[in-house]
A and B are shown apart, each in its own frame.
Chain A
Amino acid sequence: MKRKVWGFVLAGLLVSLLLAAFVSPFASKAPDGLEKHAQDKGFAEKGEGGSAWRFPLMRDYTVAGVQSVSAGTALAGLAGTLLAFAVAFGAAKLISRRRAAGSEPVGQK
């Protein structure tokens, strides 16, 4: 059972990585609904820079040093997708491990 879940999970991860690498460079570059509205209504500049967080590794889904926009987007997409998998898997593992660590009675049946 466990192995079968992993087969499915790896297939799903592969599909996600393919989308991130090969489809994301073709995604629409137009502003999204919120950005467009902010531009039309003149409050877009209030959010200049996007985030007050000053250390994003790949700001706006680009990779520093990569000239090609498409390649940058693809690399950023691959990195983000793998990161999302790793962090979500790790977090879920950590949270679920607390059950083994002694909170057995909660919801166990």
Chain B
Amino acid sequence: MHIPDGFLSAPVYLAGYAVSGAVCAVAVARANRNLGEKEVPLLGMTAAFIFAAQMLNYPVAPGTSGHFLGATLAAILLGPLNSCLVMTIVLLIQCLGFGDGGLTTFGANLFNMGVVGAIGGWACFRALQFMLPRNRRGFLAAAAGASWVAVVAASACCAVELAWSGRPVVMSWLVGVHALIGVGEAAITAAVLSSVLAVRPDLVAAWDRMPKLQLQEARP
């Protein structure tokens, strides 16, 4: 879903830079709270994994493929603002090192593939957690559901940006294909979280915080 240079009009890509820039500024400012000694290497590892996993395009329809995005996974592992930092770095390396995603459209790409998945996906994950049982299976189901929603929402944002730029985009087609791509995203997110929970549940920020939340709720 990396938008190349030339697809978006100037007002749209400038707006992308403004919104993504503001969110990243907050993420860096708040990193004082979110980045401890153990998060620093985890942030590096998460960026490495997302870069590698984004290379693995899988077929979703004849002549069409899709790939993992990872912002929601990173948000569940590290917190939503740290996920914004990770996605900024991954997308920046793809843009400058590999010519994947345009220079002018970087802000819009960061919004679609980073901010939407990190902030929106995380909010969706929290909302689903309230509806699902507070155990491992419910946790993984919420993560899978939220990451699916994040991919679909990202494609809807992408479609709107293209439409605002005067491109003859068919929103239902683009969103429909990403509803399929999102199934892969959900499967990868759940598989990774399931593996990490099996070995180091204390390193999953959203899981590590959960028992304390339950305690607070049980103690009125």
- 0/1 per residue, A66-89, Cβ < 8 Å to B? 000000010011011111111111
- B167, CB-defined interface residue at 8 Å: yes
Q: Which of A33, A50, A53, A107 contacts B64 (CB 8 A)?
A: A33
Q: Which residues of A contact B203 (CB under 8 A)?
A: 5, 8
Find residues 41-70 in chain A having any chain B CB closer than 8 Å to their own CB: 41-43, 46-53, 55-61
Contact B66 A33 (CB under 8 A): yes
Q: Is the CB of A24 within 8 A of B7?
A: no
A106 B100 Cβ-Cβ under 8 A = no
Tally of chain A residues near chain B (CB < 8 A): 70
Contact status B63-A13, CB under 8 Å: no
Q: A81 to B59, alpha carbons, bound, how many Å?
A: 22
Is chain A's interface secondary structure helix, strand, loop, or mixed overall?
helix
CA distance A59 to B45 in the complex (A): 24
Chain A nearest Cβ from B161, distance in angstroms: 11
Q: Inside 8 A of B170's CB, which chain A residues have their CB?
A: 37, 41
Q: Are B89 and A87 in contact (CB under 8 A)?
A: yes
Select one of A49, A57, A88, A107 contacting B85, CB under 8 A.
A88
CB distance from B186 to the nearest CB of A (A): 16
Query: How many of chain B's residues touch chain A, expressed as a range?
Result: 35 or more
Instruction: Show the binding face of B for A, using Cβ within 8 Å.
Output: 1-7, 28, 30-33, 35-53, 55-60, 63-67, 85-86, 89-90, 92-104, 155, 158, 167-170, 173-174, 177-178, 181, 199-200, 203
Shortest 8 CB-CB contacts between residues of A and residues of B:
A89-B44, A107-B33, A47-B4, A88-B47, A56-B99, A28-B65, A85-B48, A84-B51
- Residues of A participating in the B interface, judged by any CB pair closer than 8 Å: 1-2, 4-6, 8-9, 12-13, 15-17, 19-20, 23-24, 27-34, 36-38, 41-43, 46-53, 55-61, 73, 76-77, 79-89, 91-93, 95-96, 98-99, 103, 106-108
A51-B5, A84-B89, A107-B32 known, 17 other contacts, Cβ within 8 Å: A1-B38, A8-B203, A13-B49, A16-B53, A20-B55, A30-B63, A43-B7, A50-B102, A60-B100, A61-B98, A77-B52, A80-B97, A84-B47, A88-B43, A88-B47, A93-B40, A96-B32
